[in-house]
Chains A and B, each alone.
Chain A
Amino acid sequence: MFDFTYQTNFKTMIKVENVSKVFKITKKLKKELNTREDSVKALDNVNFECKPGRIFSLLGPNGAGKTTLLRMIATILKPSSGSITVEGLSTLTQDQLVRQKIGFITGSTGLYERLTPDELIKYFADLYGIERTVFERRKKELYEILHINGFANKRIGQLSSGSKQKVSLVRTMIHDPQVVIFDEPTAGLDVIAAKNIIELIKQCKNQQKTIIFSSHIMSEVDLLCDDLAIIHKGVLLYNNTMEDFRQQMKTKNLTEEFIYIVENHKN
């Protein structure tokens, strides 16, 4: 079975404090966006915390700043101001250590199509510096859970999108990350492939991992989420438990409530 033995003494795994992100707009982009602005504020003074064993959902319409925020947690982008820590480690000054603790998965599988799943997983395991015996054990466990053995030596380019998604999941989980970031992971996937993701998120929660899950699909959020943050135009409009959100709802369902919050912010 999946051996997630992670335990932590930290009450807060991820801490986002006063984070803002400003992107400079290049001349090329100015033309594309038909704007005269020199910069755009993608995130504006965002604060939240994520705890182990809980699923934190980041909900927002397209272009709200969800991916920018998740990329900053994963150290791919740097905040323009504010700070982010993962298990007490700064994403700015201890980025390599932070990345060792993180698994990041998106809707696009991001796989090397000319490699086989075996070769790809070995490549990432080597980059994470996983010991051979640990790697073999984890690979065996993940392959069994996700039924990868049947196509482990086929070129990834020849696999179905569902199989590719499974390989992508193994790549994300091979180093047994304490934090798993899912950035709209089911976007563009069929029902079966999406189900694999949902199952994995649930398993991660059972293993006391910290999960951040971004989506604009309400049903997924409703199904999985413990804590909810609603983001719109770079501003955090709501940040509390899902239970609290349900209790405070002024409309009939989650979708309407989400639209109500976003529309209200516009006005």
Chain B
Amino acid sequence: MKNIIIIIKKEIKDLLRDRRTLMTMIIIPIMVFPIIFSIMGKVTSNQIKKETEKSLTIGFNDNGNANQLRQLFENRPDIKIIKYPKLVKFDTLIQSGKLDGAIMISDNFDSNIGTMRTGQIAMLYKSANWGVKERLMGVMDKYKNTMMDERLAKLSIQRPAIDPVEIKVQDVSSQREKLGKTIGGYIPYIFIIFGFMGCVFPAIDLFTNEKEKGTLETLLVTPVKRIEILFGKMTVVSVIGSISAVLSIIGFSFGLKQFANSLPKDVLGSLLNFIEPGNIAMLVVMLVPLIVFFAGILTLITTYAKSYKEAQSFVSPMSFIVIVPAVIGTIPGVELNVKTALIPIVNISLAAKDIIAGTINYSLYGMVLASLLLYACIAVLVAVKWFSKETNIIKS
């Protein structure tokens, strides 16, 4: 144990002096989200503000009909009406940005309205332009309701007579649950990826580089046991991977708070719920065996590789293998159950999603933990066996 601690202390000191480790372990995980969120927040809020304050220019072809409707549009200070006596290619004008939308009234609109038939209105808009449809529909719905009230009054009918059933729909999901199930999947994805990335460089440096430069051989001729060397190095890889993952969560939380001003208060409150100590503790408890599992796998790859370049080329496809199951956790409908609880990476991704949503089943959480511990133990045992084989660790 004493030798393992000596190795851990030395390796951490050595790695912390390396800029690449500092970048992947501390700077990127802690900085990336605040930067992304602050840029995203500013861009989104500016865009929303710009779109809602923007005056819409609407083409209006009424064929001499629907004066009342046109007046409703003209009364709106945020909508500018341009009359077109003849039909033109409104879609082209909207695509080119000359118009934000167009309203076309049918020839027989007034006569149909007057004779209690249905008047036809066509509306063109571009869904890529945020809020246009809602603003135009707001005006037209107001007109439609006025017409409806007038007709019902003429016919001496009360509204409930034509509206026999009132359906009240209530979503019992809490805001936290809804957000957890939708964007909650991305949070574990973040720390799984950063946890893995945090392990990659230390593993290459402590195994491949040492083998390539001959420093591993100098360690092997000391009285230290091989297993102590392996455990010392694997512990450092795991610690740095864990720090990287935890810092990415801290960075994410910090970034979220930065982004707070542009989010509705209830949404923000729900998102910030996952930062509660209990939730963080549950995530970290799962994270540790996962990172040890990564460290074990990376030990095999990086000791097998003969050079830094070769190690990188082996690790790149491995990143893909980590990303795919992590992404599965973000797919709506994929739930944590007895089967998914046993699939590595997918299980932590789904469990984390449920923790964030506040809907975690503790039995399944236990299964996830047990399976993660089992995979971590298998990875460590395989790494021990691999490291004890002389041809794997001695530069030929």
Contact surface of A with B, Cβ cutoff 8 Å: 23-24, 26, 29, 71, 74-78, 96-97, 99-100, 102-104, 106, 108-112, 114-115, 119, 123-124, 126-129, 155, 171
Q: Do B224 and A110 have beta carbons less than 8 Å apart? A: no
Give complex CA distance A103, B390 in Å. 19
Other-chain contact of A110, B18, B215, B394 (Cβ < 8 Å): B215
Q: When the two chains form their complex, are residues B213 and A110 in contact, meaning their CB atoms are under 8 A apart?
A: yes
In the assembled complex, the Cα of A146 lies from the Cα of B78 at a distance in Å of 85
Interface string of B210-244 (1 = CB under 8 A from A): 00011101111111110000000000000000000
Distance (Å) between the CB of B9 and the closest chain A CB?
9
Q: Which of B10, B217, B220, B225 lies in contact with A123, CB distance below 8 A?
A: B10
- In the assembled complex, the CB of B94 is this many whole angstroms from the nearest CB of chain A, namely 62
Contacts A108-B213, A108-B214, A127-B223 given; indicate if A115 touches B14 (C-beta within 8 A).
yes
Task: Return 19 A-B CB contacts under 8 Å, by A number.
Answer: A74-B220, A75-B221, A76-B220, A76-B221, A96-B223, A96-B225, A100-B223, A103-B221, A104-B221, A108-B213, A110-B214, A110-B215, A110-B217, A115-B14, A123-B10, A127-B7, A127-B224, A128-B222, A155-B17
- Asked if B214 and A106 sit within 8 Å, CB to CB, the answer is yes
B391 within 8 A of A: yes
B14 touches A114 (CB 8 A): yes
**CB proximity of B25 to chain A, nearest CB, Å:** 15
How far in angstroms is the closest Cβ of chain A from B201?
Answer: 13
**Does B3 count as interface, using CB distance less than 8 angstroms?**
yes
B229: min CB distance to chain A, Å: 9
CB of A118 to closest CB in B, whole Å: 12
Which A residues lie within 8 Å of B225 (CB)?
Answer: 96
With a cutoff of 8 Å between Cβ atoms, the chain B residues found around residue A23 in the complex are 391
Residues of B contacting A78 with CB < 8 Å? Answer: 390
Cβ contacts under 8 Å, A126 to chain B: 6
> In the complex the two chains form, what is the Cα distance from A96 to B224 in whole Å?
7
Q: B217 and A76: CB pair below 8 A? A: yes
Among residues of A, the one whose C-beta sits closest to the C-beta of B214 is A110
| Alpha-carbon gap, A108 to B215, bound state (A) | 9
Residues of B within 8 A of A26 (CB): 391
Which among A102, A109, A115 is the interface contact of B221 at CB below 8 angstroms?
A102
Quote the shortest CB–CB distance from A37 to chain B (angstroms).
15
Bitwise interface map of B from 4 to 34 toward A, beta carbon under 8 Å scored 1, else 0: 0011001001100110000000000000000
* Known contacts A74-B221, A77-B394, A110-B213; is-contact A127 B18 (Cβ 8 Å): no
State the CA gap A104–B14 with chains docked (Å): 23
The CA of A160 and the CA of B301, in the complex, are separated in Å by 33
B390 (CB) vs chain A CBs: closest residue: A77
Q: Would you list the 6 A-B pairs with minimal beta carbon distance, nearest first?
A: A110-B214, A114-B17, A104-B221, A127-B222, A110-B218, A108-B214
Shortest CB distance A14–B (Å): 15
Interface 1/0 per residue, B194-218 and A, CB below 8 Å: 0000000000000000000111011
Alpha-carbon distance A71/B18, docked complex (angstroms)? 31
A267 to chain B, nearest CB (A): 29
Which of A29, A76, A108 is B394 in contact with, Cβ under 8 Å?
A76
Q: Which residues of A contact B14 (CB under 8 A)?
A: 112, 114-115
Report the separation of the CA atoms of residues A128 and B217 in the bound assembly, to the nearest whole angstrom: 15
**Contact A127 to B217, CB < 8 A, known contacts A99-B222, A114-B14:** no
Q: Which of B18, B217, B223 contacts A129 (CB 8 A)?
A: B223
Judge whether B223 and A119 touch: CB under 8 Å: no
| Inter-subunit contact A127/B6 (CB<8 Å) | yes
* Shortest distance between the CB of B37 and any CB in chain A (Å): 34
Q: In the complex the two chains form, is B221's CB within 8 Å of A24's CB?
A: no
Question: Is there contact, CB below 8 Å, between B222 and A124?
Answer: yes
Contacts of B217 in A (CB 8 A): 76, 104, 106, 110
Distance, CA A29 to CA B17, complexed state (A): 35
Bound CA span A106–B224, Å? 19
| Chain A residues near B222 (CB-CB < 8 A) | 99, 124, 127-128
Most A CB contacts (10 A, CB to CB) among B215, B219, B221 go to B221
A112 to B218, CA, bound (A): 10
> If the complex has contacts A108-B214, A115-B14, are A128 and B390 also in contact, measured as CB distance less than 8 A?
no
> Does B215 contact A112, Cβ atoms closer than 8 Å?
yes
17 new A-B contacts, CB < 8 A, other than A112-B10, A171-B218, are A23-B391, A24-B391, A74-B220, A75-B220, A76-B394, A96-B225, A97-B223, A99-B221, A100-B223, A108-B213, A108-B214, A110-B213, A119-B13, A123-B6, A123-B10, A124-B222, A127-B223
Complex-state Cα separation, A97 to B218, whole angstroms: 16
Expressed in whole angstroms, the Cα–Cα distance for A108 and B219 within the complex equals 14
B223: which of A99, A108, A110, A112 is its contact (CB, 8 Å)?
A99
Chain A hits for B223, CB < 8 A: 96-97, 99-100, 127-129
Contact indicator A111/B10 (Cβ below 8 Å): no
A17 CA / B182 CA spacing, docked (Å): 70
Chain B contacts for A96, CB-based, 8 A: 223, 225
Identity of the chain B residue whose Cβ is nearest the Cβ of A76 in the assembled complex: B220
Nearest CB of A to B272, in Å: 40
Contact with A along B91-107 (1 / 0, CB 8 A): 00000000000000000
Look across to chain B and name the residue whose beta carbon is closest to the beta carbon of A183. Answer: B217
Minimum Cβ distance to chain B for residue A40 (Å): 11
- Residues of B within 8 Å of A108, CB to CB, are 213-214
A76 touches B390 (CB 8 A): yes
**Alpha-carbon distance between A128 and B218 when the two chains are bound, in angstroms:** 12
Residues of A within 8 A of B17 (CB): 114, 155
Residues of B close to A109: CB separation below 8 A: 214
User: When the two chains form the complex, which single residue of A97, A111, A129 contacts B215, counting CB atoms closer than 8 Å?
Assistant: A111
Question: How far does the Cβ of B105 sit from chain A's closest Cβ, in whole Å?
Answer: 77
In the assembled complex, which residues on chain A have CB atoms less than 8 Å from the CB atom of B6?
123, 126-127
